[in-house]
């Protein structure tokens, strides 16, 4: 499976990466493959705050609708509006253009408890 070596992972298949003083978040390649064609992504409003592990959105494919959980607590600074017209970007480039939210982390130390790329690969591969 494809992985981003700069990112860290949640067991619920979201990845998160540092970009300046914001964190960027999306879903993994493994997740998009399981979902198959993404048809819609429901994203939160800018300014909304979430605790670590809270649901921030929903991703829909033809056969499923899955909740999205934020890997670290924080306040939403930006959402990827391009996904409204082109939800398939999540399938095509899950770690790049398919990013979903950028947020200001409320507790940077939460980064340390996330899974490293190899750890995620092991846990997801076991599914």
Partner 1 sequence: MPYSPHTDADRREMLAAIGVSSVQELFHDVPESFRFPDLKLPKAASEMEILDELYAMALKNSTTGCFAAFLGAGAYNHFVPSVIPHLAGRGEFATAYTPYQPEVSQGTLQSIFEYQSMIAELTGMDVVNASHYDGATSMAEAAIMAVNVSRGRRRKVIVSPWIHPQYRHTLRTYLPGGQVTITGDENLRTNLDDLQGMLDDDAACLIIQNPNFFGELMDVDGLADAVHDAGALLVVVANPIISLGLLRPPGDYGADIVTAEGQPLGAGLNFGGPYLGVFAARKDYVRGMPGRLVGETTDTRGRRGYVLTLTPREQHIRREKATSNICTNQGLVALMAGMYLAYMGKGGLRAVAEMCYHKAHYTAAQIEQLDGYQVVNYAPFFNEFPVKCPKPVAEINSALLEEGILGGYDLQQDYPHAENEMLVCVTEMNTREQIDRLVAALAEIGAR
Partner 2 sequence: MNQPEPLIFEMSSPGRAAYTLPELDVPRAPLPEDYVRDELNLPEVSELEFVRHYTRLSQKNYAIDTVFYPLGSCTMKYNPKVNEKAASIEGLTHVHPLQPEATAQGSLKLMYELQEALKEIAGFAGVSLQPAAGAHGEFAGVLIMRAYHQSRGDTRRTKILIPDSAHGTNPASSAMSGFSVVEIPSDERGNVDLEALKVECDETVVGLMLTNPNTLGLFEEHVLEVNETIHACGGLIYGDGANLNALMGIARPGDLGFDVMHFNLHKTFSTPHGGGGPGSGPVGVSQQLVPFLPGPIAAVEDDHYKLVMPEQSIGRLKAFYGNYGMFIRAYTYIRMLGPDGLRAASEHAVLNANYLKAKVAPHFPVAVERTCMHEFVSHGDVEGTDVRALDVAKRLIDYGFHSPTNYFPLIVHDALMIEPTETESKQTLDAFADAMAHIAEEARTDPELLHTAPHTTPVTRLDEVQAARNPVLRYKG
Residue from the set 37, 54, 67, 119 that interacts with partner 1 by CB under 8 A = 67
Find the part of the chain contacting partner 1 (CB under 8 A) among 24-32, 54-62, 79-87, 100-108.
54-62
Going across the sheet that includes 55-61, the strands are: 38-42, 55-61, 65-69
Chosen from partner 1, partner 2, none, partner binding at 64 (C-beta under 5 to 8 Å by type): partner 1
Query: Which partner, partner 2, partner 1, none, binds residue 42 by CB below 5 to 8 Å per kind?
Result: partner 1
Task: Rule CB under 8 A: choose which of 4, 34, 88, 121 binds partner 2.
Answer: 88
Minimum CB separation of residue 41 from partner 1 in Å reads 11
Are 118 and 13 spatial neighbours (Cβ–Cβ below 8 Å)? no
- CA 79, 80, 86, 92 torsion: positive or negative? negative
Nearer to partner 1, 87 or 114 (CB): 87
């Amino acid at each position: 499976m494809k992985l981003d070596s700069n990112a860290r992972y949640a067991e619920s298949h979201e990845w998160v990466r540092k970009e300046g003083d914001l964190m960027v978040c999306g879903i993994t390649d493994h997740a998009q493959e399981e979902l198959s064609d993404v048809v819609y992504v429901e994203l939160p409003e800018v300014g909304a705050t979430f605790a670590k592990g809270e649901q921030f959105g929903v991703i829909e494919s033809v056969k499923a609708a899955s909740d999205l959980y934020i890997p670290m607590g924080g306040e939403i600074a930006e959402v990827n509006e391009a996904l409204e017209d082109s939800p398939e970007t999540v399938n095509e480039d899950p770690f790049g253009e398919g990013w979903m939210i950028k947020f200001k982390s409320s507790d940077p130390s939460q980064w340390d408890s996330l899974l490293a790329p190899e750890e995620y690969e092991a846990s997801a591969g076991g599914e």
